[in-house]
Structure 1
């Protein structure tokens, strides 16, 4: 009686927990990247993204104002005063402990006065206000360095996105790379869908010699490694004059995506009602009319499912772009390659890297969530009769 219809399997809870773990494993890095893209470099280096909503404590280095331009006589001594936060362009920070050496950052509490010797003193308040006092020889040259442990409130900024999307100097052409990626991805998604739809219909509903052999060939091509065909295909493209350009990249993505597209669409079309096709033929419809007026509208879930996969593959592709597209001037570089270059040239600027990476994944996320309801229906095509 335990296995009768209507009873839930005993391990349903395990399935739910597994799905939850998979969702969280995918969601946490994405949320972390999104949050980090709005944080400053100091905050990223001092705390994780999960602490973005809480005050952070970090060690910072400041320097008192230039004595030659800012010192004021006070009897026999000179005084330089100011606020380290205002001079550094910061605000709303507080100092807990400080020191005049990197080896003794916590030598003094906020508000205490440090004796620097021979009558020279330095006082630093919690709000960043300081007073540096000494004789003529001491209050000269460069300003006194101050090492402080600072508590900073949560801070979010849009400057990272401004640098990535609007400032060519900061990103060396990330905006151009974004549009180059669109130029590659949109045709490389549409072309294989159009070709595969015609081929899948022929293999599913048209009788001709060698059809079974063609189906077997398509299935065999699914297991051919992408890397195995790169060099021969590049030599072919260079030989016919379409290498290192958009056309060669479109054709490469089309060739690598066609086996899965044909296999997926053919399985879906085979599962469509045979009576519908035969009745259309009896009524005098041509194969092209059947394909365009019946098959394509009914096959939209499978078409959308493959479109999601192909768009994600081409948008996130680096290998094919490296082989078939990248030129010496960088005019056709795509976002994946641009991010790799940022890692090499600006490896310390994590705020820029996080923003560029999130911009790169934002479009695939929009496409996926807009069409995800068709994904399962397309993947299950032909699995159940």
Structure 2
């Protein structure tokens, strides 16, 4: 009964369930990051992203009284509003020990004849018989119900406003400048090398293939400093050319290995017939091998682009740390240091950094699967 056609085995159900769990575990934090990137900092501090679509009543971050001072007879007054949103105050206080000591519209005695009143809509009136000039104004602790609020100001600030000495928009362009050539160059070089290793006979081919396989296990960190010294010796130094060549060198072993294994599985009769018809090796490569190898080329392009886009170490070594040279990962590290409490800025910056890799992956995933599974079924 276990082998009846149309029934799934226990292993198939386990695999499907595992894939579903992995997908959910991957989607949940991504969705949280996306929702948080459209929320204000106060809302992120007061409630979780899963509560973003409902009105939430919670204790808000303390707010320092600010505003222009006016006079009403002999009384000095500062009036204003605690919130920029339509929050509704249910309780408030002037001390962290008693953040809900007063109800809306009640008046708190601050001593010395000064008093503070906070209304239900968040408006306040601070009055005193003496001027507030040079005085430290009180903080207000509130418990308020805040309606859902979403804004694109986070993305506007992230992309166009200079932060930590540089706007992330410039870092975005720098990352594109690094990633696109660092993906295209290895593909071009590796495609020629893979065709030669797969379909051309020459002395030392087996040794060369073994060397390439061996290079797959060489740690990247081991070659960074010697390669930088080589660049400085021959006059390349730090810059885009240096990082393009570095990523090309680090990515070529995997590219050649992947493409060679794919090309070796292509039908031999097609290539032999082309040679009989008088086609040159270059014509065979361009008109036959490349079109048939597109899934493998796309697979490597995805891996290489994601690697170069998310890279930080190679960019720091071969590109530099200047404001006009930073890539997205370096810019995000600076934001973590200089704006570690601005979660709305960090979430918007992080989502900008992952948006392009997500777009590349989902647009080319069908080629990734075909490239990885090529040759597994005869």
After TM superposition, is the score higher than 0.5? yes
1:33 maps to which residue? 33
The structural deviation recorded for 1:6 is 5.7
Distance across 2 between alignment mates of 1:210 and 1:26? 45
Change (3 A) 1:282 1:62: closer
Please say which of residues 51-60 and 215-224 is displaced more in the overlay: 51-60
Q: Contact between 2:93 and 2:142, CA under 8 Å: does it hold in 1?
A: yes
2:18 maps to which residue? 18
1:234 maps to which residue? 228
2:364 maps to which residue? 371
The structural deviation recorded for 1:119 is 6.9
1:58 maps to which residue? 59
Describe how 1:255-274 pairs up with structure 2 within 5 A.
Answer: 255-274=249-268
Change (3 A) 1:336 1:325: same
Q: Contact between 1:257 and 1:310, CA under 8 Å: does it hold in 2?
A: yes
Q: Contact between 1:163 and 1:170, CA under 8 Å: does it hold in 2?
A: no
The structural deviation recorded for 1:303 is 0.5
| TM-score relative to the length of structure 1 | 0.90
SS of the aligned residue for 1:242 comes to coil
2:311 maps to which residue? 317
Change (3 A) 1:316 1:231: same
Distance across 1 between alignment mates of 2:2 and 2:42? 59
Describe how 1:97-246 pairs up with structure 2 within 5 A.
Answer: 97-116=91-110, 121-132=115-126, 136-137=129-130, 141=133, 142=135, 145-169=139-163, 172-246=166-240
SS of the aligned residue for 1:148 comes to strand
1:299 maps to which residue? 293
What is the total number of aligned residue pairs between the two structures?
A: 375
The structural deviation recorded for 1:183 is 0.9
Distance across 2 between alignment mates of 1:28 and 1:105? 34
Describe how 1:279-290 pairs up with structure 2 within 5 A.
Answer: 279-290=273-284
The structural deviation recorded for 1:9 is 2.0
The structural deviation recorded for 1:272 is 0.9
Change (3 A) 1:213 1:4: farther
Q: Deviations over 1:123-158 (max 9, x none)?
A: 332112445566x35x75555543322222111111
Q: Is 1:254 matched up with 2:248?
A: yes
The structural deviation recorded for 1:269 is 0.9
Distance across 2 between alignment mates of 1:301 and 1:193? 12
Change (3 A) 1:197 1:154: same
Please say which of residues 29-38 and 106-115 is displaced more in the overlay: 106-115
Q: Deviations over 1:188-238 (max 9, x none)?
A: 101110111111111111111211111111111111111111121111111
The structural deviation recorded for 1:99 is 1.7
Q: Contact between 1:248 and 1:324, CA under 8 Å: does it hold in 2?
A: yes
Distance across 1 between alignment mates of 2:195 and 2:163? 50
Q: Contact between 2:77 and 2:126, CA under 8 Å: does it hold in 1?
A: yes
Please say which of residues 300-309 and 230-239 is displaced more in the overlay: 230-239
Q: Is 1:360 matched up with 2:356?
A: no
1:345 maps to which residue? 338
SS of the aligned residue for 1:364 comes to helix
SS of the aligned residue for 1:150 comes to strand
Change (3 A) 1:5 1:198: farther
Q: Contact between 1:234 and 1:323, CA under 8 Å: does it hold in 2?
A: yes
Q: Contact between 2:42 and 2:61, CA under 8 Å: does it hold in 1?
A: no
Q: Give 5+ residue unaligned stretches, structure 2.
A: none
Q: Give 5+ residue unaligned stretches, structure 1.
A: none
Distance across 2 between alignment mates of 1:129 and 1:234? 61
Q: Deviations over 1:87-146 (max 9, x none)?
A: x5x131111111232221111122334355687654332112445566x35x75555543
The structural deviation recorded for 1:81 is 7.1
The structural deviation recorded for 1:63 is 5.3
Q: Contact between 1:264 and 1:381, CA under 8 Å: does it hold in 2?
A: no
2:81 maps to which residue? 84
Q: Contact between 1:171 and 1:342, CA under 8 Å: does it hold in 2?
A: no
Q: Contact between 1:38 and 1:158, CA under 8 Å: does it hold in 2?
A: yes
The structural deviation recorded for 1:171 is 6.1
Distance across 2 between alignment mates of 1:66 and 1:208? 82
